[in-house]
Amino acid sequence: MYADLVCKGGGVKGIALVGALSFFEEEGYIWKRVAGTSVGAIVASLVAVGYSAKEIKNIMFNLDFNQFADKDTLQSIPLVGFVTSLLISKGIHSGDYVENFLTEKFERKGKKYFRDIYSDGKSRLKVIAADVTRHKLITLPDDLVEYNINPLDFEIAKAVRMSLSIPFFYEPMVLNMGKTPCYIVDGGLLSNFPIWIFDVKDNPRWPTFGFNLYNNFEKTSSNPNGFIPYLIDVIETSLSTSEEIYFKDCDAVRIVNIPTLGINTTDFNISKDQMRYLYTSGYMSAKAFLENWDFNTYLKNYRV
């Protein structure tokens, strides 16, 4: 059974997406097109280049998430390195590790550029990012032409890195529009869950499913007076907007809602037990969803 997939962003909570992915694949679903924001873009990109859910689970469970918090050279400056990174680089961490990590994974499947995952003249993968200079959402690789870049020649890993460049936490990526540098950051600022991205006016040939991460536990800052906790709280709040409250019924019925136990986006010290919980949460949520899903009923009620 063919289907399209949209994955919500959520940092380390993205392990739950893999659990849902696993159950869908066990049920025989084959992904035609995939999209995502932030960690959702990571999962979607791994699917797009040819990784199975089982392979992605192995990658995620053996990943040291602390490596994602890589330091740039400015942080080596004694005492003032942290502030210098924020003021000059506009981010605490460089993001180089994420890009290099993904490039290596993609190349193992013989993929590196968007041209490698094009089918019928279109990219199998769409990634959401935010151009804060132009105050607009961008879809990659499609919108690269606005920056005079050939989408076919753009590296997949760079696009995914843009989508997960959490403001202030990671240095923004830069795309030039003429002589104007445009700063590109985490797409979650504008759309953390682009369930609409593959929609068509006529009846779709196959369904589009959305994997939604939601916090089923209210969690407050343990140190509201500290600068770092404050910065993390700002990041969490900006990326935790519940877009689903604006969804129509026709969107809600195709979304798998996955609880995430109050785990924060940037909890890079996540334990193996927490990883297993997230994976199981995604798996069981997908199972419960598919028990009540019928594509023909969806078409009859919402598309005909």
Give the model confidence (pLDDT) of 13-67 as tens digits: 999 999 999 999 999 999 999 999 999 999 999 999 999 999 999 999 998 888 8
- pLDDT computed for residue 59 by the predictor: 97
pLDDT given for residue 299 in this prediction? 93
* Fold category of 2-67+109-128+137-165+185-303 in CATH: Cytosolic phospholipase A2 catalytic domain (3.40.1090)
Residue 302: the pLDDT is 87
* Residue 152 CA: distances (Å) to CA of 116, 125, 155, 201: 8, 12, 8, 27
Name which residue leads in pLDDT, 218 or 3. 3
What tens digit of pLDDT does each residue of 192-245 get?
999 999 998 889 999 999 999 998 765 555 555 666 666 666 666 665 655 555
> What is the value of pTM for the model shown?
0.89
User: Is 131 annotated in the active site?
Assistant: no
Which residue among 4, 22, 38, 163 is the active-site one? 38
Whether the pLDDT of residue 74 is over 70: the answer is no
Give the per-residue pLDDT at 87: 59
Mean pLDDT, residues 155-184: 93
Of 4, 72, 131, 186, which is the active-site residue?
186
What is the tens place of the pLDDT at every residue in 231-290? 666 666 665 655 555 567 778 899 999 999 888 887 888 999 999 999 999 999 999 999
Share of the chain above pLDDT 70, in %: 82
70 in catalytic set: no
Enumerate the domain spans of the chain: 2-67+109-128+137-165+185-303
Q: 55-65, pLDDT tens digit by residue? A: 999 999 998 88
CA–CA separation, 178 and 264 (whole Å): 38
pLDDT per position as a tens digit, 101-152: 999 999 999 999 999 999 999 999 999 999 999 999 999 999 999 999 999 9
Q: Of 82-91, 109-118, 152-161, 185-194, which gets the smallest average pLDDT?
A: 82-91
pLDDT over 50 (residue 79): no
* pLDDT tops 70 at residue 77: no
